[in-house]
Structure 1
Amino acid sequence: MLVLDIIVVVVSLVYVFAGWYTNENNAKHLFAGYREMSKSEREKYDIKAILKFFKPFIINLGILTMLAYFSISFLFDYITALFVWIGIETIALAYLVIKLNKLKVNK
C-alpha cells in the first residue's frame, strides 16, 4: 500500500504548504470563487478573519489527518484507514466551507 501512503502524504503536504503560503496578497488568486468576484463583492468578506481561521485550520488538517491515517493503518488495516481518512477530510472541508461563509461582513 505504498501508493496509498504516498497519496496521503502528498495531499497532507499540499494542505500544509497552502496554509503557510496563503496571505492577504495572494488570497484573491488562490481562493476559488473569491477571485471571480468583483472588487465590491470582495469587500463584503473580511479576508483577515478568513485567513486567521483558514491558515491554522488547513495546516492542522494536513498534519492531523496524516497522523490519523497512519495510526489507523497501523492499528487496523489500510482500507479502514482510507475510509476514516476520507471521512475526516470530507467532514473537515465541509465545516471549513460553512465556517468561511459565515465570515461575510455585509450580507
Structure 2
Amino acid sequence: MSGDVPLSWFLLFAAACFAIGLFGVLARRNAIAVLMAIEIMLNAANINLVAFWRFGDAPGPEGGPIPGVMLAIFVITIAASEVAVGVALILLCYRRWRAADVDRFDSMAG
C-alpha cells in the first residue's frame, strides 16, 4: 500500500469539484449548465463516499456488504432520474418561452 493515493487527495479533489459545481450553479443562467453543475456536485459527494469506504474500517467484499459503494450507486441512480426530470422541465419551458434562461422561469408560479 505504499503506492496508494492518500485520503486527503481524494477529499481535496472532491472539495474542488464541489466548489466548481457550486460556482456553476450560482454563476450560470442557462438551465442545462446549472444541471451539469449539480451533477458535478453530486459526483463530488460520490467521490467522498467511495474514498471514505476505501480508507475506512468497514468490511470488504469478502467480509460483508460494501455500504459506501452501494450508497454511491444509489446517488448515481437518483442523479440520473433528476437529470431526466430536469431536462423534461427545461424542454417544456423552452417551448413556452423560447429560452433556457433560469431568470425567465420565475413566472411558472401560477
Q: Which one has a bigger Cα radius of gyration?
A: 2
Higher relative contact order (Cα pairs below 8 Å, separated by 6+ residues) = 1
Q: TM-score, normalized by length of structure 1?
A: 0.48
Q: TM-score, normalised by structure 2?
A: 0.47
